């Protein structure tokens, strides 16, 4: 019976990981637009909407430099942000490996 319960938890975790990976695509696009030249900023409102963020700020941007344990650090920060019910957030990773939070 314990093996079956463990399998249910594993399936739940896999589903959560798939949903999180799918949610990263709009966040990566938003990050790329935010770092682009001003001329590329035209699609920025659509990218903000795709991430569930308002088109107008103010916004608070948090940048997190991580080491080898990036996954655990990023997961911990994401969990803290989830508990701030009045705030919406998006997470993305820079090409160099650092995490960026919006």
pTM of the model: 0.52
66 or 57, which is more confident: 57
Q: What does the alpha-carbon distance between residue 31 and residue 27 come to, in Å, rounded to a whole number? A: 6
Tell me what pLDDT residue 100 has.
44
Domain range holding 42?
A: 2-101
Task: Bin 97: left if φ > 0, else alpha if -120 < ψ < 50, else beta.
Answer: left
Q: Given this model, what pLDDT does residue 49 score? A: 83
Task: Express each pLDDT in 20-59 by its tens digit.
Answer: 777 777 877 877 777 766 655 568 788 888 888 888 877 7
Structural domain count, the chain: 1
Residue 8: per-residue pLDDT: 92
Give strand pairing partners of 99: 64, 93
């Amino acid at each position: 019976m314990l093996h079956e319960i463990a399998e249910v938890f594993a399936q739940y975790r896999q589903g959560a990981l798939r949903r999180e990976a799918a949610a990263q695509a709009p966040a990566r696009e938003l990050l790329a637009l935010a770092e682009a030249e001003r001329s590329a900023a035209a699609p920025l409102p659509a990218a903000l909407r795709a991430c569930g963020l308002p088109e107008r700020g103010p916004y608070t941007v948090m940048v997190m430099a991580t080491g080898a344990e990036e996954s655990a650090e990023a997961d911990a920060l994401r969990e803290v942000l989830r508990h701030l019910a009045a705030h919406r957030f998006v997470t993305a990773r820079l090409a160099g490996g650092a995490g960026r939070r919006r």
